[in-house]
Amino acid sequence: MSKERIKIAPEFRDIMPPEYRDLVDDATWGKEGRGWKDVGTSKELIEEHSLCAGCPESMAFRYILSSLPSPEDTVMVGSTGCTSLVFPHVAVHNIHSLFGNQNAIASGLKRSLAARFPDQGKDVVVLAGDGATVDIGLDSTLQSWFRQEKFTTICFDNELYANTGGQESGLMQKGFVAKMAPIGKQFEKVRLPEIARESGCHYVVNCTVSKPSLVEKVVRNAVLVARELGPTYLQMYTPCILEIGKQSMEGLQEMRDSEKPGLRFAYKEYASPEAKELIAEIAIKEKERKAAAKAALAQSSV
Amino acid sequence: MKPYRVLPGPEEFLPPSAASMGIRLPDPDQGHIEGRIVPEEEAMERAAQVFLSAKVPTIFPGPLVLWSWNEKAAKKATAIQYLYDVIRESVSSEARPMIIPMADYRPKYPKINPEVEINPNHPNLTIWHNKIDACMFVGVHCHQANLALKIIRGGTDCFTIAMCAQAGHEDANLTFRDATPEKIMNFAGWIKKLKGTV
C-alpha cells in the first residue's frame, strides 16, 4: 500500500479527529530504521490505550508496533483477550479472529496476500495471549507451524486468563494460585518455545519486554525470517499486574525479576541454520545502512 | 397486519431490520421515504424539508469520502462540503448545522469524543450529546451504515437519511441510491429551492 493513498480530503481536514491528522502527518510508515525510539512521538504507536494503568502489555504493544519492518504492508491477527481492547487504537491493519483460531486465519490471510500481491512482501503477524495460543488455539498454532506457514506468532504470556478474572492457563507456572485457580496449578508450564522449535519454527525467542531494544531486534528478526523462510514464534512475558497482586509501577520490575538466569523468562533464542544465515545478512545490511546514514549526516553538516 | 414503516425512533432496544419487516430497496431513480418507494425527486424534496426544519441538521461523512483515495472520492468530498455550506446558508438562525466524521468503524474504548466523531457501534452517543434531530450518512460502508442506522432508530428520535453509493438502505428513514457528486449537488439544489418555505 502506498502512503500516497492515505490522504485526508482537504475539505474534511479540519473536522477529522486530531489523531488521524497526526497519523497522516507524522507516521513512521516507510521510514527506514524506525524503531522503539519513535514511541512517544508517533501517534500510530498508540497514544492512548484501554488497558490497566501500568500494564506491561501496553509497553509490549508499543515496542512491537514500532519494530515492524513494513507496517504499511503488515496485517496483524488478534484474538480474544486484553489485546483485543488495544487493536481498535492501532493504526496497522488488523483482524480480530475467533478465540483460538488466529493461526488458521493468519494462514489463509498470508496465502491470499501472497497470491494477490506476489511482488510485494506482505507480512502477517499473529498477536494473541497464552489462552488463545496454547490452550484454546493450540491446534491451529501447531498446525500452522507443521505446514511451515510464513508468518510470525507472538504470544503475550501473562500466565493466566487475565481478562476473565484469573483462571489457570497452560502457560501458568506450576503451583501458582490465582483468583479462580485456588488450589494452585498442578502441572508444569507448557514448554511452548521448545515445542515450536520441534514443530519447525525457524526462529524462536522466549523473553520479557523489559528491554525495548531487545524486543525491537527479535520482532524484526522474527518478521523477516518468517517472510523468507517459514514460521517464527516469540513468547513474551507481559505479566498481569492485577492478577499477580502488583501495583501499577511494579510491572517492569516483575519482568526484570523473572528474566534472571535460570528463571522461566531468562532470554532464550533458537534460530535454524538458514535463519542464522539470514539474520547475519540482515545485520550486515543494517550496519551498512547506519554507516551510510551517518556519513550522509556528516556530509550535510559540513 | 399494518405494513411496517421505518419511522424515527426511539423504537426499541433492538429494532428489527427493516428488510425483515418487508421493506424493500428502491430501484434506480427511486428512493424510499419511511419504507415507501418514491421517485427520487420526491425523496429529495422530503429530505430537504427535513433538513430545513431540523434544529441540528448533521452530515456524517464516512471513510469513503473522508479519505481522498481516488478521484471520485475527492469530487464527492467537494460536493459534500458544498452541501454543508448550502445547509448553513439556508436553515433558520436557530438551527445549528453540523458535520461530524465517522473516521473509524472500530469500537473505541474506553470512550469516543461525541463532539468530534461518530462511531457506528454507538452512534447514539453522538446523536444524544449534540441533540441531533436529522442526519445524513454519506461515504459509509453498507454494513456499518446499516448497523448505525438501526441503533439510531432504536434509541433516538433522529430522522436518518442515507446518501448511499450502492442500492440504498432499508434501515434509514429516507434513502437515496447510486450517490454521485452530481446527486449530492442536486440535493443541495433542493435545499436552496425550498429555503424559506419550511
For B128, other C-beta atoms within 10 Å of its C-beta total 14
- Asked whether residue A71 is domain-assigned, the answer is yes
Note the pLDDT of residue B110: 67
| % of chain A at pLDDT higher than 90 | 72
Q: Quick one: which H or E segment has residue A268? A: strand A268-271
| Closest CB to A11 among B77, B104, B106 | B77
Q: In the structure, what pLDDT confidence band is assigned to residue A5 with cuts at 50, 70 and 90?
A: low
Cell numbers given for B90: 439556508
- pLDDT of A45-101, one tens digit each? 666 788 899 999 999 999 999 999 998 899 999 999 888 888 877 888 899 999 999
CATH of the domain at A172: 3.40.50.970
Question: Which residues of chain A make contact with B115, given a CB cutoff of 8 A?
Answer: none
Length of chain A: 302
Least confident of A17-26, A142-151, A260-269: A17-26
Note the pLDDT of residue A2: 54
For B56, other C-beta atoms within 10 Å of its C-beta total 17
Beta bridge partners, B162, equal B137, B175
For A4, other C-beta atoms within 10 Å of its C-beta total 7
Residue A7 pLDDT > 90: no
- pLDDT of B138-195, one tens digit each? 999 999 999 999 999 999 999 999 999 999 999 999 999 999 999 999 999 999 999 9
| Closest CB to B67 among A9, A17, A87 | A9
Q: What is the mean pLDDT of residues A31-50?
A: 78
- Asked whether residue A99 is domain-assigned, the answer is yes
Total structural domains in chain A?
1
Q: What is the CATH number of domain B30-194?
A: 3.90.1640
- pLDDT of A161-210, one tens digit each? 998 889 999 999 999 999 999 999 999 999 999 999 999 999 999 999 99
Q: What is the mean pLDDT of residues A12-22?
A: 90
- Asked whether residue A80 is domain-assigned, the answer is yes
Task: Give yes or no for A183 touching B (CB within 8 A).
Answer: no
Q: How far, CA to CA in Å, does A178 sit from each of A82, A106, A159, A187, B85? A: 17, 32, 10, 14, 60
Could you tell me the residue ranges of all domains in chain B?
30-194
Owning domain of residue A48: 34-301
Closest-CA residue of B relative to A93 is B106
Decide if the complex's ipTM is over 0.90: yes
Closest-CA residue of A relative to B68 is A9
- Asked whether residue A22 is domain-assigned, the answer is no
- What is the nearest CA distance from B186 to chain A, expressed in angstroms? 19
Note the pLDDT of residue A301: 77
